[in-house]
Amino acid sequence: MAPVGPIDRELRAPLPSCCPDCGGEVVHIRDAEQFLCELPDARPVVTRFTVGIGRCRSCRKRVQGRHPEQTSDALGAAASQTGPHARSLATLLHDALGLSFAKTSAVLSHLGVPVTSGVLSPGAQATGTDLVPVHKEIVARLNDADMVVMDEGGWRVGGSGAWLWAATSKVATASSVACGRGFGAATQLLSEEYSGTLVRDGWVVYRSYDTASHQTCIAHLLRRCAEMESDLPDWARGTPREVKEILLAALAALAALAALAARELSTRRRRAVACDLAERIELLAQGAHPHDANRRQIKHLTNEADALFTFLGNPDVDAINWRGEQAIRPAVVNRKVWGGNRTWRGAATQGRIMSANRTAAQQGIDPIDFHIRLARAPDPGAVSLLA
């Protein structure tokens, strides 16, 4: 195994002169190498800024200097602060990795930064405030995207039920916490006038995007078919089997068409295949389905008819909503650890920080580096996350 960085120390493990088992003389044959990557001794770096204060001769306004590494203009009782690197690491530990403020405080203290959870909480709120223009920029970029994937999951605020929403494209992700699961909550991230392609699951609220093209998640439909095949009696399993065959045929066609070199030919073939599969769904709906579960499935497919095979006609559209699920899954795991947010202000901060961290990763930017740059900026609104 090669070392992860430059060699800082060279140590030698001496060969014993006698065998530990029999006491015989040991003859040197060769040398081998072992590498150990260790954390340095934790020692905080304390910086004292000498801040020049003056007054304008013309307007008599107070003027204060600012060093590029400062994160605040506060003086007096608020002059002692947590540095941007420590605060950004705390943000990552709490909002991305799910540690409570108390546990985050313990980690930072182990690294040599003695900070309490009471200091970290307002620090997170300050980060959330700085991220307001960044979050608006992300939402605006999503509303201009050709394809957006959306998903939602359960959340808690103050012990009561809420919903965590996520909208993502190939380059940006926005999240927010809302009190409900209706269309109004969805439009906090994606405007009701969105005209691109929306990839989503079968939740009925998404159909309210009238001006958008739609693609329902094929993976969700296949999982439902598998559940029905397992639960239904033998005589009723034919319907989910036929649905599964059609959906798998669509995915197989996608893989085959992706191999075509000529894009124009590929587009024609895609549309033809989509029409054939849509006809198979129509023929299946015209048949008799005596079991209630099968009738519900056919009704759902009929309602989603125009959203089943959009991905075959447009090669840039995903067939499943994996982007949305990946965007929301880390937060859902964290919710199971620390239960959500205590206040709605904290929930708003949660959504903004999640949006910044996920978008930074999509842009190939280290989230900690971005938060440091944001904390040191005199005007957070001038800091952009999107290329």
What domains lie within the chain, and their CATH numbers?
A: 218-313 (1.20.1440)
**What distance lies between CA 114 and its chain's CA centroid?**
30
Q: Average the pLDDT over 2-26 and give the result.
A: 86
SS3 for 62? strand
pLDDT at residue 311, as a whole number: 92
pLDDT of residue 254: 86
Closest CA to 101 of 111, 91, 86, 113: 91
Task: Work out the percent of the chain whose per-residue pLDDT is above 70.
Answer: 97
212-262: pLDDT as tens digits: 999 999 999 999 999 999 999 999 999 999 999 999 999 998 888 777 655
Higher pLDDT, 163 or 267: 163
Query: pLDDT, tens digit, for every residue of 142-191?
Result: 999 999 999 999 999 998 999 999 999 999 999 999 999 999 999 999 99
Distance separating alpha carbons of residues 48 and 81, to the nearest angstrom? 11
63 Cβ contact list (under 8 Å, min separation 6): 53, 54, 55, 56
Query: What is the reported pLDDT for 264?
Result: 60
Q: What are 333-366's pLDDT values in tens digits? A: 888 877 788 899 999 999 999 999 999 999 999 9
